[in-house]
Structure 1
């Protein structure tokens, strides 16, 4: 499991002073990017070398409790499974022991033309090893 700390800033909140619902998607995006980086996957280098990129295909989200301004959150990311062209991750946002948000995210691998593509072998191996 990968963990990323995220502080809630004023800009992340709505008029009620709680994190605006769409900002959880930004938090988990950061978590996924750092999870890939932690496994030695440089997304910019991957795009330059082979044209491969990831696109979110599906998000199943559950908002459980609100986060508020200045909360310190932890974004957890873990690989659920992979197919030849997709990666599925489970993500959670916590404030201490409190579970605030969960998501199951399916990422599709695309080639330089934006068409579905198989995961590069080195990438799949790095994810499987992590």
Structure 2
């Protein structure tokens, strides 16, 4: 299943040439991941408070394909590629209509309060795999 999150490009998102500054794509996909997690019923604040667990980005492989520009309406798509014992690997795309502007493979890892990898709790696994 693919989650979709709309983003509009604002002036602050662009560089001197009027195109989206490369680092802002990482912000766009972060928002998409946060909304995906929320949409599948995971409350990250509660998970941190109650269990001392948080998701963090371990790795991002990004490809910048075509530029997005000021005032473009974009869609961030998020899809699970792989669910491991301590990680989730996601495919994320930033689309403008049928054009793909940016793609990324993102690996997020669950860690505990000590910063060590932690097993994804059994009750979260069906939510993550269905998301």
Give the TM bin, normalised by the shorter chain. over 0.9
Partner of 1:42 in structure 2?
43
Q: Secondary structure at the match of 2:36?
A: helix
Q: Any runs of at least 4 consecutive aligned residues in structure 1 with deviations exceeding 2 A, and if so which?
A: none
Partner of 1:89 in structure 2?
90
- Distance, in Å, in 2 between the alignment partners of 1:76 and 1:40 is 18
Coordinate RMSD, CA, aligned: 0.8
- Distance, in Å, in 2 between the alignment partners of 1:53 and 1:15 is 36
Q: Which runs of 5+ in 2 are unaligned?
A: none
Matches within 5 A, 1:17-96: 17-96=18-97
Q: Secondary structure at the match of 1:65?
A: coil
- Distance, in Å, in 2 between the alignment partners of 1:98 and 1:129 is 26
Question: Which string of whole-angstrom CA distances, capped at 9 and with x for unpartnered residues, describes residues 7-30 of structure 1?
Answer: 000000001110000000000000
Q: In the comparison of the two structures, how many residue pairs are matched?
A: 130
Q: Which runs of 5+ in 1 are unaligned?
A: none
Distance apart, 1:126 and its partner CA:
1.2
Partner of 1:9 in structure 2?
10
- Distance, in Å, in 1 between the alignment partners of 2:92 and 2:99 is 14
TM value normalised by structure 2: 0.97
Q: Secondary structure at the match of 1:128?
A: helix
TM value normalised by structure 1: 0.97
